[in-house]
Amino acid sequence: MKIAIKTLGCRVNQSESDILAALLKSEDISLVPFEDQADWYIINSCAVTKMSEKKTRQWISRALRNNETSQVILIGCYSPLYTRQFPLPQPRLQVIDSPEKIKKVMEKLNLPWDDSFSEKVIPETKRARVWLKIEDGCDHFCNYCIVPHLRGAVRSEEPEKIIHQAIHLERKGVHEIVLCGINLGRYDFGSNHTTLIELLEELIRATNIVRYRLSSIEPFLIDKKFLDRYFSLIPRVCPHFHIPLQSGSDEVLLKMGRGYTTQFYRELVELIRSYDRNIAISTDIIVGFPGESEKLFTETIEFCQEIGFSRAHVFVYSPRPFTPASQWDKIEGVPFQAKKDREAQLLKIIYNSQIKYYRSFIGKTLSVLVEATTENHVVTGYSDNYIPVRGEGILASDYGRILPIFIQGEQDRILLGKAIQNQYTV
């Protein structure tokens, strides 16, 4: 049997697909590229925006065309929406709307399943960096976000399972693990209430060389106690926080239901930088939220200039079903062209702060995870503070290792440098 998997959306989806791929390989299933002919096509979907829905439908159509006798399985966030949009059964398309999606896929394929499988399986990956899902679901219900409606309540994976996976990934040569979740900072397992920082400490005790990165953490879930313990773990944890902002306007933040103000966010950034002035702080921002005037958007521009993010994902607001904001958008929606103009303006601001941050490391040495090498001994990879780096003097055998690279310049938002000979971080 030949199976192809297509993953759309976030790192949580990628982590789930890696687990599914490992299970299929353990059953001697042949995994093929999505463009090839397969017996089954599995699409792990996203529904965070209208565009992600559209892309998912395009991949469904492509899969159905690839092989006229194949079956397509749809999993992920778009599944519950798809069944509402297209309630009638469709030939050759099977939709799985369940938090136990991996188990359900195995059952659809008539492959053996035991609940212990999820405890033992190690994600299938050829990447130097691996995303490991430790949490699912969200109960914050921001006024624009559909994800809590699709993913359900917060659920945390057992620490023993996560540690088992991390140990085996390290044995397979993985040197960076990104802990990910829908609302990662809400990780809290069992009667003993193992927290995210406690899990990190346990992971570091259980492994020897892997460095850990947090995918994203909400600002209201970070405090001084967390930071004291986090910074004591460096260099085994990365000096990088991705902290969603969403807007630099207090009026818009209140309407979004984010639960904090710009002053709270500002003070948090100042606190984090009091531990390390060079730490990377990246973010997510939405432009064109219903009721966002030019004045309110200007507040976001000015706030981003003040903070100086190392990078940012800028999203054009997209109305989603089941959310209050989708109703507001009908009354006070921002015109599409105005949204695109604001996106372009904000990206310029982010570009400037990003370049300034990157260039501050010229003349310094960064620890870089080697993610690709060439015959000319040139490496590309990401530093611990999540800067793309291209370095010379690397061997092909160095793939997957963390090397010290002396930074000499910057070009097109990539730092350029040379490996420091005979020195290896890990």
Across 62-66, 121-125, 272-276, least confident range: 121-125
Comparing 377 with 75, the larger pLDDT belongs to 75
In angstroms, rounded to a whole number, what is the distance separating the alpha carbons of residues 300 and 309?
Answer: 12
Mean pLDDT confidence for 222-251: 98
Residues 248, 358: Cα–Cα separation, whole Å: 23
- Counting Cα atoms < 13 Å in the Cβ hemisphere of 361 gives 30
pLDDT score recorded for residue 313: 98
Mean pLDDT of 17-36: 92
pLDDT at 190: 74
Q: What is the spatial distance between Cα 176 and Cα 26, in angstroms, rounded to a whole number?
A: 24
Per-residue pLDDT of 167-179, as tens digits, reads 999 999 999 999 9
Summarize pLDDT for 174-196 with one digit per residue, the tens.
999 999 999 999 999 877 789 99
pLDDT at 119: 61
State mean pLDDT over 135-147: 96
pLDDT digits (tens, 9 = 90+) for 238-294: 999 999 999 999 999 999 999 999 999 999 999 999 999 999 999 999 999 999 999
Of residues 243, 224, 237, the one with CA closest to residue 183: 243
Q: Give me the numbers of helices (H) and strands (E) for the chain, helices first please.
A: 14, 20
Least confident of 46-50, 56-60, 338-342, 369-373: 369-373
| Residue 171, SS3 per DSSP | helix
At residue 202, the pLDDT reads 98
Q: What is the pLDDT of residues 306-338, one digit of tens each?
A: 999 999 999 999 999 999 999 999 999 999 999
Overall average pLDDT of the 122-130 stretch: 80
Check residue 234 and give its pLDDT.
96
Which structural domains are found in the chain, ordered by start?
2-115 (3.40.50.12160), 125-238 (3.30.750.210), 272-359 (3.30.750.200), 365-419 (2.40.50)
How many C-beta neighbours within 10 Å does residue 250 have? Answer: 17
CA distances from 297 to 304, 312, 325 (A): 11, 16, 17
Average pLDDT over residues 34-60: 95
Q: pLDDT by residue (tens digit) across 104-120?
A: 999 999 998 876 666 66
Q: Where residue 396 falls among pLDDT bands split at 50, 70, 90?
A: confident
Residue 123: pLDDT over 90: no
Q: What is the pLDDT of residue 164?
A: 94
- Which of helix, strand or coil describes residue 369? strand
- List phi, psi (to 5°) of 299: -65, -40
Task: Quote the pTM value.
Answer: 0.93
* pLDDT over 90 at 61, yes or no: yes
